[in-house]
Amino acid sequence: MSANPSRRSFLQTLGVGFGTTVLASALPGISSLASPAKPYTGKKLGIALVGLGSYAKNQLAVALEKTDNCYLAGIVTGTPAKAEEWRNKYNIPPQNMYNYQNFDSIASNKDIDIIYIVLPNSMHHEYVLRAAKAGKHVICEKPMAISVKEAEEMVKACTDAGVQLGIGYRLHFEPYTQEIMRIGKEKVLGDIRFVQTNFGFSIGDPTQWRLKKELAGGGPLMDVGIYCVQASRYATGKEPLWVTAQFGPVTDQVRFATVEESISWQMEFPDGIMVNGFTSYKSNIEQLYVSASNGWAQLGPAYGYGPLRGRTSRGEMNLPVVHHQTVMLQGMCKELIENNKIPAHTSGEEGLRDMRILMAIYEAAKTGQRISLV
Catalytic residues: 142, 227
DSSP state letter for 60: I
Q: How far apart are CA 93 and CA 96, in angstroms?
A: 5
Q: How far apart are CA 218 and CA 127, in angstroms?
A: 20
Nearest of 10, 125, 1, 109 to residue 60 by alpha carbon: 1
Q: In what order do the strands lie in the sheet with 97-98?
A: 97-98, 70-76, 45-50, 114-117, 137-140, 165-167
168 with 1: CB under 8 angstroms? yes
DSSP state letter for 118: -
Nearest of 358, 362, 347 to residue 128 by alpha carbon: 347
307: which residues sit within 8 A by CB, 6+ positions away?
12, 14, 301, 321
267 with 275: CB under 8 angstroms? yes
220 with 281: CB under 8 angstroms? yes
Q: Give me the count of residues in the chain.
A: 374
Q: In what order do the strands lie in the sheet with 310-312?
A: 315-316, 310-312, 295-299, 285-292, 192-200, 273-280, 262-269, 242-247, 371-372
- β-sheet bridge partners, residue 71: 46
